[in-house]
Structure 1
Amino acid sequence: MKARFDATGEVVVISGGARGIGAALAAGVNAAGGTAVVLDVVAPPAGVEHVQVDVADRSAVTEAVAGVLAQYGRIDGLVAGAAVQPRSTVLELEPAEWSRTLQVNLDGVVWLCQAVVPHMVARQSGSVVVFTSGMASTGYPGAAAYAASKAALVAFAKTLAAEVVADRVRVNVVAPGVIDTEQFRGANAGADREHWQDTIGVGDPEDVVGPLLFLLSDAAAMTGSVLTRERAFTKLTSFVE
């Protein structure tokens, strides 16, 4: 069975969509006939709509979303993927690093939802996807700030899902697994990279596009759920032509 998604006429906002998983998703949305609008501090690949914004800045996020709505008149999906992943032990963690991680990874999602979800509620339709990590439940040496932000996002998403379920807006979480992105390479050099490769494996950004398109689509009749992409699922893509 082959899955095909039709996003004709739909608009999907993707924070952190200039690189990695977000960039792969933007390409997937556009290929499905929709319009991906990337919110990022850096520019995405050519041909992708882009608004330069730091998601940690609430007023900038509000202004960016208002601009998207003014231009397109709708936002059907929000994928909040902007994140930073510094590495520092708990005992060496600087206050500025801790604050910045939570401001981007957690606050940025809150500001995006506050800007986008009221529009979805008014339309009685919409899908929001946020990202968590296996580190949220297991922890990982040197990743306290990142792991804490990802754990908090699960509770946040489940709460928001419960608050807007009557308005036909879905909020789900994806745990993409370990993906070979620029951010991953920066945070996991040397032995750490070998650890992930030798244990659960390292996938490609394109491996996550299918699960994300599913969660954005009306086929995902679910909310408040966490979709975990296992290592075996990475290998499955090699059989699908």
Structure 2
Amino acid sequence: MKVSFDATGEVVVITGGAQGIGAALAQAVNGCGGTAVVFDVTPPADGVEYVEVDVADRSAVAAAVDAVVQRHGRINGLVAGAAVQPRSSVLDMDPAEWTRTLQVNLDGVVWTCQAVVPHLVAQQSGSVVVFTSGMAPTGYPGASAYAASKAALVAFAKSLAAEVADHRVRVNVVAPGVIDTAQFRGANAGADREHWRDTIGIGDPDDVVGPLLFLLSDAAAMTGSVLTRERAFAKLTSFIELPGVNE
């Protein structure tokens, strides 16, 4: 069974979309006829519409969202993917590193939702997707700040989903698994990388695009759900017709 998506006329904000999963999604949204707007601290390499913004800065996020609405007239979806993944033991962790991780990974999602979701509520439609991690329920040595932020996001997303469900706005969570991105490579060198390769495997950013498009689409009639990638989740995009993804 082949699946295709039509995003004609729709605008999707993607935080952290300059590389990795966000960059792959931005290309797919544009390829489906929509408009992807990337929020990041560095510009994407592929000419996607871009706004330079640090999601930890609440006022900057609000201004960026207002500019998107003024330019395009609407926002239909938000994929909040901006994150940092420092590695250090709890006993050696710099307090500034802990604070910065929570500011980007958790506060950044909250501020972006505060700016975007009122527009979705006003139009009585829209979808928000946030990212958690397999480390959230289990923890991982040297990744306490990252794991803690990702665990908190599940509770946040489920709470927000309950608050806005009556307005036909959906909020769901994706745990994409281990994906070969620059951030993953930076945080998982040597033995850690081999551990992931030999256990659940390492996927590609395009492996996550299909599930994200599904959650953004009207076909995803659920909210407050967590979609988790295990081995079988990889290469789901092979069943989905996306310009530039399956070619």
- 2:133 pairs with 1:138: no
Q: TM-score, normalised by structure 2?
A: 0.96
Partner of 2:231: 231
* Amino acid of the structure 1 residue aligned with 2:184: F
Residue 48 of structure 2 is aligned to residue 13 of structure 1: no
Distance 2:77 2:235 in 1: 27
Q: What CA RMSD, in Å, does the superposition of the two structures yield over aligned residues?
A: 1.1
Of stretches 224-233 and 21-30 in structure 1, the one that deviates more from structure 2 is 224-233
1:1-241 superposed matches below 5 A: 1-235=1-235, 237=237
1:13 partner SS: strand
The runs of at least 4 consecutive aligned structure 1 residues that moved more than 6 Å come to: none
Q: Aligned partner of 2:90: which letter?
A: V
- Which ranges in structure 2 are unaligned for 5 or more consecutive residues? 241-245
Q: Is the 8 A contact 2:154 2:173 kept in 1?
A: yes
Q: Distance in 2 between matches of 1:126 and 1:238?
A: 26
CA–CA distance in structure 2, aligned partners of residues 46 and 174 of structure 1? 25
SS of residue paired to 2:65: helix
The CA deviation string for residues 157-192 of structure 1, in whole angstroms up to 9 with x for no partner, is 000000000000000000001000000000000000
Distance 2:228 2:158 in 1: 15
Counting aligned pairs with the same residue, the percent is: 81
1:36-64 CA-to-partner distances (Å, cap 9, x unmatched) read 00000000123200000000000000000
Q: Distance in 2 between matches of 1:193 and 1:114?
A: 36
Task: State the AA in 2 paired with 1:201.
Answer: G
CA shift, 1:94, in A, is: 1.0
